[in-house]
Structure 1
Amino acid sequence: MQEKTRRLHVVAEYTGLKINVEKTNSMRINGKKKDVIWLNDKEIEEVDTFLFLDATMDKTGGTEADIGRRLGLARTTFVSLAKNNRKKMTKSLIRSIENALGARILKIHWPEKITNQQLYERTRSIPLPSTIKRKRWRWIGHILRREENSHVRTALTWAPEEKRQRRRPKNTWRRSVEREREEMGLDSWKEGQVVASDRRKWRSLLNGLMRPPEQGEDKEFNK
C-alpha cells in the first residue's frame, strides 16, 4: 500500500495535482498488514469510517452505517422543526399526493398546468381535510343525539382533573374539536345538541364544511 501511495503521489504531481496529507485518510478492509502509510514524511491517519460523496464508508463494506447516519440526520431535522411547521408540512404532503392522484386521473402531464380549484371541479372531488372534518362532525352529531347519561356523550365534554404530563402535546383532540365548533358558529355543546337534534339543520351545517380551497390555497399545480 505504501508503494501504491507513492506512485499515486508521483502521478498526481506530474499532472499538476497535489495530495493534501492533512485531509487524506486510509482505511483497510480485511487487511492483514498494519504498516503505517507515509506521504511527504507525514503519517496518513488510519480511520474505521469516513465520509465520501456524502456516503459513509466503513470497514464492513456494507450500507448499514450510511443508512443509520441518514436516518439520524432526518430524525434530528424533523425533531428540530417547530410543531406548527411539522403540521404544515404534513398538510402540504397530503395536498401534494391528493393533487398528483387527481392529475393522473385527468391524464394531465408536464408541462400542462391546472389550478387546485379546476382540479377539484373536474374530478368532482372535495379537499381531503374537508372530507375528514365532515366525517368527524357527522359522527359527533350522532353522539350529541344520544341520551344525557350515555358514556360516549359524557366523554365528549369530560375533562380530566389532573394536569397533563410534561412533554405531552398542548393541542388535544378535544381542544381541536372545540375550536372547530366555534368556527362553525356553535358557542357551546348545548347549542350543538339543539342543532344536532334537527337532522336537516345539522346536515346543512355539515354541507358548509365541504368548501372549495381558500383564496390563498388556489395555486397552479404542475404535473
Structure 2
Amino acid sequence: MTTGGRQGCLLSPLLFITALDWIMRETTEGGRTGIQWTLLSMLYDLDFAYDLALLSYSIGQMRGKMQKLEDNSGRVGLTVNATKAMRVKTIGNAKPVSCRGVELEIVKDFTYLGSVISSSGGAEMDIEARIGKAKAAFAQLKPVWKARNISLKTKLRIFESNVLLYGCETWGLTQANIKKLQTFINARLRYILGIWWPRKVSNQDLLEIAGQERVEMTIRRRKWRWIGHTLRKPPESITRTALDWDPQGRRKRGRPRLSWKRGVRKDLTAANTSWQEVKKIARDRGRWRSFTEALCSRTG
C-alpha cells in the first residue's frame, strides 16, 4: 500500500508477476540446481501466481536455492513464506532446509493447487482426498437432493459437476482406486434416485437408470482428451515436454507400480498403436475424436 500499486490497481498483477519472474530468474541463474528436464535444459521450479515449488536433486542445492530466493525477494520488498519440504529417496541425514531461520517441516505429502502430491508418487492419497471433499460437497447439497421441485435430470447434472474427478486426467489408476471411486458414486446415485437397500437393483442397472457410465470409462475419456489437447501445444510447452519426460534414477527392486505413463502404454498396446502414431493423430481433431472413442471402447 505504501511502496507499490494501490489496492485494486490494474497494474498490480502485472507488476507482481514481473517482480516474481525477475526473482526466480536471479535465483536459478548461474548454476544447475534443478532436475534434468530435457537433454540440454533443467527444470528449476514450478510457479503458479505466488505459489512456488522449488525442485533440486540434492538437499545442499535446495539450501542454496532457498537462501538466494530469500535474498532476491528482499531486494524487491517481498518476504518468502515457506512452509514444507518433501524428500524423495534421499540418503543420510543432511542438514535441513531453512527459511528465515526456521527449519522447514519435512512431510510425505502436501496439497499443491488442489491436488495431493505424495513422496510415493501414486494417486491413492489424492483420490482419498477427492472422495472426502466430494462427501462434504454432497452433504451440503442435501436440500437439493431432497427437493421435489427439481427434476432428476438437473440433480444428476449437478452431481456430475462435483469435485470428485478434479485432476483425474493425471491419475495412475489401479483396480483398488477404481473400486473406491465407483463405490462412492453408486452410493450417492442410490441416494439421489431414492433407491434404498430393500430394493435389489444391481450396479449395472443403477448406472443405466441414471444414464451414467462406469467411472473408469469417464476417467479414461478425460485422460485421452487431455492428452490430445496437450499434444497440440507448441513443442516447447512444459506440459507437452512432460509427456515424454523420463525421470532419472533407479527404481526399487520388484514389480513396478502402475504409473500414469504405464497406464497409457497399456491402452496403446491394447489398441496396437505406438506413441509416435498418437502424436500424428492428435494434430487432426476429428481423427483424434474417432481414435479416442474407439480406444476407450476397446480398452473399457
More RCO (CA 8 Å, sep 6+): 1
- TM-score, structure 1 normalization: 0.48
